[in-house]
Amino acid sequence: MTGRELSRRDYLGTAVGAAAGVAGLAALGDRARAADDWYAGYADDYETVVDVTEAGADDTGGESITDVLEAEAGDDTLLVFPAGEYRMDEQFRFTGFTNFGMVGDGATIVPGSIDAVDGNVVTAGEFDGAARLFRLGVVYAPGEDLLVEGFDFDFTAASTGLRAIEAYVADDMTVRDIDVVGEHDTGTFGPAMFSVTDPDGIATVEGFRAPDGAAFTEDTVGDISVGPTGILVPPSHEGKLWFRDCELGSFPDNGLYASSPNGRVVVQGGTFRNSNVSNIRLMGDYSYVLDATIVVDDLLDGHTQTGIRLDRGEHLWVYNTTIDAPVPNGPVIRVQDDATSARIQETSISVGDRPSHAITMSPDAGVVDIFDTDIEFDGAGNAVQINGHNDDSDSPVTLRRVTVTGDASGDHGRNAIRVMRQGCLLDDVVVEQPGTHYRRALELHGDDTTIDGGTYRSTHHPIVNVADGTALDGVTARSYDGYQALKLYDGYADVTVTDSELYEGIVDRGVRNLDLSGNSYPDA
């Protein structure tokens, strides 16, 4: 059974066999096709199945189909779109529904062109009214049990990019196998917006693809601020929304933006490229990114292209994700002040030769863990930048089994890891940075930092301490150019170094209460 032959309920976990689908077709009305048609697997989910072409929709792209959709839409109804081109010259709006679906098999939606826009309303051109194609539910009248599957949206003609799908549901939405072809070039609403309004509601968006991105508003007829967002999750979202295997190209105002602090968003798989602000931007407790790929390889001058931005919430998570930034333009991962706890785990990051940072934490961000993560860092800047206030208001940051490699220079930030926060832990960290301009492995400005094991190698002093209460145990540190392994600035106190291998020894500028025990100081 293929993906398009699965019913929505089967997809969400209810076993619906092919035999049941065939039996259900026998009860359909005159418009239902034979049981061996491609949509047979959906039959038992709906009381009414309508082939839109038999209802009068033009599948040659000549006449708009909006009137037909409005006449045929209803509760417990599936609209079937056979292969063809379907023109739309205004939005189709259907709200407050229960159990409604639209499925296509080689169906392409072709919007009319736009000549003028005022506040996301088209005022001139072949399209008229709100700059959307399918508006399914609204925040005050959401739908329930929605299926949209198997459509292409053709934006290849000039000035035809619109919001393809906007959906508000209380519960149970599946949007699957959607391709937006061509650049969104009208400066209006981005291709998609999805919201689950009930806190107990669950929905899935799988295989939503808009690889051609969007133009900045200044280059279009539109007036939206900056430009479109690829996929938007609005503040009304309160349920759980899964994005699986989606693809977004370069959008001016975030790629996938989850802007609700009250709902949960999971991004699983997929590829996200070159969006302005951030490629994936998350908020909402227990939201996470898993198995995704983010690429920044096309520079937008004068803008910032963060890979993943964790904005707000607790237990935000980036796991088993690959971020490749050969042309970095801002931090690869940014943890913002309102993120009360976050974890980055088993993630691979590659940063090319431009001034940038790999992972940054804002001063008021909460507890952050970075575990089992590899960073290849060739650009000038900090691979890990831990900002804070260096006082009791700081939440701890833990790096465990983190590896930093690459040829980054000491320009625009000499340290691979820079700690500005109190009470951090570096456990079994490996840094190998042989770059030029006095590149260092680790610089500590946050008091009470613990360094437990690990290897630190860099061109200049691998470890530099500008803090009180630092504790090193079982550390190996070595300069490629023969500098002392550890440099201690004066004016600080209570530094402990035990059982460590420090090549060429220590430069002590006057630390008070320095405790050294069980260390070795071999020649470099």
- List Cβ<8 Å contacts ≥24 apart for 49-52: 49/77, 49/78, 49/80, 50/77, 50/78, 50/79, 50/80, 51/80, 51/82, 52/79, 52/80, 52/81, 52/86
Assigned domain for 286 exists = no
Q: State the total domains in the chain.
A: 1
The predicted structure's pLDDT at residue 22: 31
Domain containing residue 386: CATH number: 2.160.20.10
444 — phi, psi (to 5°)?
-110, 120
pTM: 0.92
Assigned domain for 219 exists = no
The predicted structure's pLDDT at residue 495: 98
Assigned domain for 257 exists = no
The predicted structure's pLDDT at residue 400: 99
The predicted structure's pLDDT at residue 25: 30
Q: How far apart are CA 39 and CA 22, in angstroms?
A: 10
Range of the domain at 458: 297-308+318-524
Q: How far apart are CA 496 and CA 472, in angstroms?
A: 6
DSSP codes of every residue in 313-340: ESSEEEES-EEEESS--S-SEEEEEEE-
The predicted structure's pLDDT at residue 6: 37
Sign for the pseudo-dihedral over CA of 291, 256, 323, 211: positive
Assigned domain for 491 exists = yes
Assigned domain for 372 exists = yes
Assigned domain for 4 exists = no
Give the helix/strand (H/E) hosting 105.
strand 98-111
The predicted structure's pLDDT at residue 478: 98
Assigned domain for 161 exists = no
HSE-CB of 389 using CA atoms within 13 angstroms: 9
The residues of the chain scoring below 70 in pLDDT are 1-36
Distant-in-sequence, close-in-space partners of 254: CB < 8 Å, separation ≥ 6: 229, 230, 232, 275, 276, 277, 278, 279, 281
Q: How far apart are CA 384 and CA 404, in angstroms?
A: 9
Q: What is the DSSP letter of 57?
A: -
Q: How far apart are CA 521 and CA 455, in angstroms?
A: 14
Assigned domain for 386 exists = yes
Q: How far apart are CA 402 and CA 508, in angstroms?
A: 28
